[in-house]
Amino acid sequence: MNILLDLFLTFVKIGLFTFGGGYAMIPMIENNCVERKQWITHDEMMNVTVIAESTPGPIAINCATFTGYKKAGFIGALVATLGMIVPSFVIIYLISIFLDNFLELTIIANAFKGIKIAVGILILDAAKTMIKKMHKKKLPRAIMVCSCIVMLCINLFAWNFSSISLMLIAATVSLMIFVLNGASEQKGGAKK
């Protein structure tokens, strides 16, 4: 089969059958791209996961772009990425057309009273998992606590401050601390 078509169909399949997004998709991608099709090696797959953690955007998209490029250059990357998006797009577009009418049903409205709570718990649980994997050092902990407090204030008191600005501040602070530490070490200061 044509490699481009194969890439497209494989990623459509991955996009169609993985629920939960993000890390839930990695085993499925590994099963298809590494074991069955052997498009990329296991080590490369590990590498993409690491790259995905350091770059923004959906992890599944990162994997699709990487695999596509590896097999068939720019066009391959494009085709694989589109394949990954198409199922979500079609399903959500159809739902979005009907959702408003759907929400007017009393039973659905009641169900969503419960679902709303589950969503909050899921987000909190995701934060817990992220904290567990975090470096247990002073600086990351301090940044985490400060951003959490600022973000809570933004939500509670409707502060006009975006989370993106918060991220930019955190990145700048971390970079400055790194540069300043480096400078003092070069002067011979053994400050740790």
Partner 1 sequence: MIYLDLFLGFLKVGCFAFGGAYGAIPLIRDIVLSYRWLNDEALTYMIAVSESTPGPIMVNLATYVGSSQAGFLGAVIATLAVVLPSFLIILLVMVLLKNTLKNKYIQAILRGLKPCVIGIVLATGAYMVLGNCFDTVSTLKVNLQAIIITVLLVASMFSYKHFAKKKLPPTLLIVISAVMGIVT
User: Could you say which residues in the range 35-64 bind partner 1, by CB under 8 A?
Assistant: 51, 53-62
Please pick, from the candidates 5, 75, 130, 183, the single residue that binds partner 1 as defined by CB under 8 A: 130
Q: Does 159 bind partner 1 (CB under 8 A)?
A: no
- Sole residue written with tokens 């002067």: 187
Q: Is 117 in the site for partner 1 (CB under 8 A)?
A: yes
1 or 55, CB closer to partner 1? 55
**Residue closer to partner 1, measured from CB, 164 or 190:** 164
Instruction: Indicate the residue among 38 and 160 with the shorter CB distance to partner 1.
Output: 160
Two tokens, residue 92: 């959500």
CB of 39 to partner 1, least distance (A): 14
Of the candidates 72, 92, 97, 105, the one whose C-alpha atom is nearest the C-alpha of residue 6 is 72
Asked whether position 10 contacts partner 1 by CB under 8 A, the answer is no
Phi, psi angle pair for 4, to nearest 5°: -65, -45
Q: Is 143 in the site for partner 1 (CB under 8 A)?
A: yes
* H or E element that contains 23: none
Q: Which residues between 160 and 179 bind partner 1 (CB under 8 A)?
A: 162-164, 166-167, 170-175, 177-179
B/e letters for 139-178, b = 16+ CB within 10 Å, e = fewer, are: eeeebeeeeeebeeebeeeeeeeeeeeeeeebeeeeeeee
Name the strand (E) or helix (H) holding 142. helix 138-156
Cβ distance to partner 1 smaller for residue 42 or 141: 141
Q: Tell me which amino acid residue 71 is.
A: K
Indicate whether 29 belongs to the interface with partner 1 (CB under 8 A).
no
